[in-house]
Structure 1
Amino acid sequence: MAAKEDLREFLRSRRARIEPADVGLAPGDRPRRVPGLRREELARLAGVSVDYYVRLEQGRDLNVSHGVLDAIARVLQLSDDEHVHLVDLAQPTARRRRAPVTKSQRVRPGVRMLVDAFPTPAFVLGRRLDFLATNAMARALLFDVDAASPHERNHARWVFLDPAARERYADWEAIARDNVATLRMDAGRHPDDPELAALVGELALASPQFASWWADHDVLRRRHGTKLYRHPVVGELTVAYEALTLPDDTDQTLFLYTVEPGSPSQQAMSLLGSWTAHPAR
């Protein structure tokens, strides 16, 4: 996952999304061979020379200022997550100042106790979407993470390689795309993570859908939302989730699931709790 190549392809993909009319430009007389903004148009709108922008897109100037990146992000109409990803790719010096990626990811005891005590599904995902902690309700709703091998304790690997995941998520494609975008965000933060490179390679070989979506260069940091599950025992249930970045380790995200009081989903969640607690389960 070379940073220069990722930066080049990310900028190209974002330029392709923007039509001249989107930024107040006339189409012009010269026919366009590819969709989106031309390099010279983006450079002019961002207030930099064409040569400077070309060097940036080709990865020949990877210590660009925040001001230039902000201007490019404005012209390309980047989301907050895309803007952060652009900075990660274009400023390797700032990235190197972060703590290095280590092989082990540990959840603080206090966080683990919170996960275990939470009455509905709760879990912690780390780098590469590795499961770091789950409670019994999460294992009942998703899959038995504790019984899986360390290699299998990964959300993206489960989503793409386990047929049960396609049945469990009512909108599997949206969930799968979010997983790809989250991994792409991780790749920008940790381009030298060999385990992440191995995971991406494994999933790209095993799943044409993953390979196609990876090439889109979409990025995402999940914060909150809803998911619809189809559980084989309790049926359908809609959950709201909060994804909280842990302050002591920004690579760890705590997911907490809740359901609307008095709803059929609450009844299904209660049934899931009873099923989880039953010794015969």
Structure 2
Amino acid sequence: MLADVSTDYYIRLEQGRERHPSERVLGALVRVLDLGPDAATHLYELAHPRSRPRGATAQVEQVSPDLLRLMRGWSSTPAFVCDRWMDVLAANTLATALFRELEHGDNLIRTVFLDPAARTFYRDWEKVARAKVAHLRSAAGADLDDPYLVELVDELSLESEEFRLLWARHDVVGKTHEAKRIHHREVGDLTLTCELFNISSAPGQQLTIFQAEPASPSEHALALLGSLAVMTA
């Protein structure tokens, strides 16, 4: 009623039987449902999905050699590159040291839900879990039938009730900046700022970097971790 559409039409939208809603209807739904920017973008993409080349997601993604060299030069900044499904494609030495106590390190969302140690490593585990699921759904957009995504969601749904419940919420939030509170068994507690950057030369890839406040205990802990990583390399 608030969006000025009939009940029957709205039901057809929810069931996917009405595939060509007008811009007026979409705008009304964004307003009535009070959707944020990420959720609104997701809604428009569901209504007007972008075409993707067949087999594109089956290709092995490569990280630019120039970006790899840049990351390796950051001795005090953990950095890694992920694809749209949160598979880790590359990581520098400090990022590897930061996350090495966790299993399933090849995929960030698998780590959060399938590794029991993640609940200690992430001091705000529930917040991180919600954010990861919302980010995955945002990255998926209308491409929910992608074979890799289907396999990933099936695996996580089967092995984690928390993931299954969060996925069913349909939360959509893209990430660009957030604080991470981490407990590392070698250097203790750290609070790091996490920044994500889209890599324009490789659509779908994102560069993630972590930084500590200057002169903070977290910066000292990160420096200690870097020294330990060099000693054990």
Same fold (TM over 0.5): yes
Query: Are residues 1:133 and 2:93 paired?
Result: no
Deviation track 1:237-274 (CA, whole Å, cap 9, x = no partner) reads: 11011111111233111111111111111110110110
Q: Which residue in the other structure is 1:105 paired with?
A: 61
Query: Are residues 1:234 and 2:187 paired?
Result: yes
Of the candidates 143, 146, 155, which is equivalent to residue 108 of structure 2?
Answer: 155
1:52-71 paired onto structure 2 within 5 Å: 52-71=9-28
1:123-272 paired onto structure 2 within 5 Å: 123-143=80-100, 153-272=106-225
Task: Name the aligned partner's letter for residue 43 of structure 1.
Answer: A
> SS of 1:158's equivalent?
helix
Query: Please, what is the CA RMSD of the aligned residues?
Result: 2.0
Task: Name the aligned partner's letter for residue 132 of structure 1.
Answer: L
Q: Which residue in the other structure is 1:19 paired with?
A: none
Structure number with larger C-alpha Rg: 1
Of the candidates 77, 80, 84, which is equivalent to residue 41 of structure 2?
Answer: 84
Task: Name the aligned partner's letter for residue 125 of structure 1.
Answer: C
Q: Which residue in the other structure is 1:12 paired with?
A: none
> SS of 1:183's equivalent?
helix
Q: Which residue in the other structure is 1:30 paired with?
A: none
Q: Aligned residues, how many? A: 230
Q: Kindly tell me: are residues 152 and 142 of structure 1, through their superposed partners in 2, closer, same or farther at Cα, counting changes over 3 Å?
A: closer
Which runs of structure 1 show a deviation greater than 6 angstroms over 4 or more consecutive aligned residues?
none
Give aligned-pair identity as a percent: 46
Q: Which residue in the other structure is 1:42 paired with?
A: 2
1:12-31 paired onto structure 2 within 5 Å: none
Q: Which residue in the other structure is 1:31 paired with?
A: none
Query: Structure 1-normalised TM-score?
Result: 0.76
CA contact (8 A) 1:124 1:255 kept: yes
- Aligned-residue offset at 1:131: 0.4
Distance 1:189 1:276 in 2: 41
Distance 2:173 2:63 in 1: 23
Of the candidates 52, 56, 77, which is equivalent to residue 120 of structure 1?
Answer: 77
Query: Structure 2-normalised TM-score?
Result: 0.91
Task: Name the aligned partner's letter for residue 179 of structure 1.
Answer: K
Distance 1:189 1:124 in 2: 23
CA contact (8 A) 2:194 2:210 kept: yes
Task: Name the aligned partner's letter for residue 32 of structure 2.
Answer: V
Structure number with the higher helix fraction is 1
Question: What runs of 5+ residues in structure 2 fail to find an aligned partner?
Answer: none
> SS of 2:192's equivalent?
strand
Higher relative contact order (CA 8 A, sep 6+): 2
| Comparing 118-127 and 207-216, the one that deviates more | 118-127
Distance 1:105 1:207 in 2: 28
Question: What runs of 5+ residues in structure 1 fail to find an aligned partner?
Answer: 1-40
- Aligned-residue offset at 1:144: 7.1
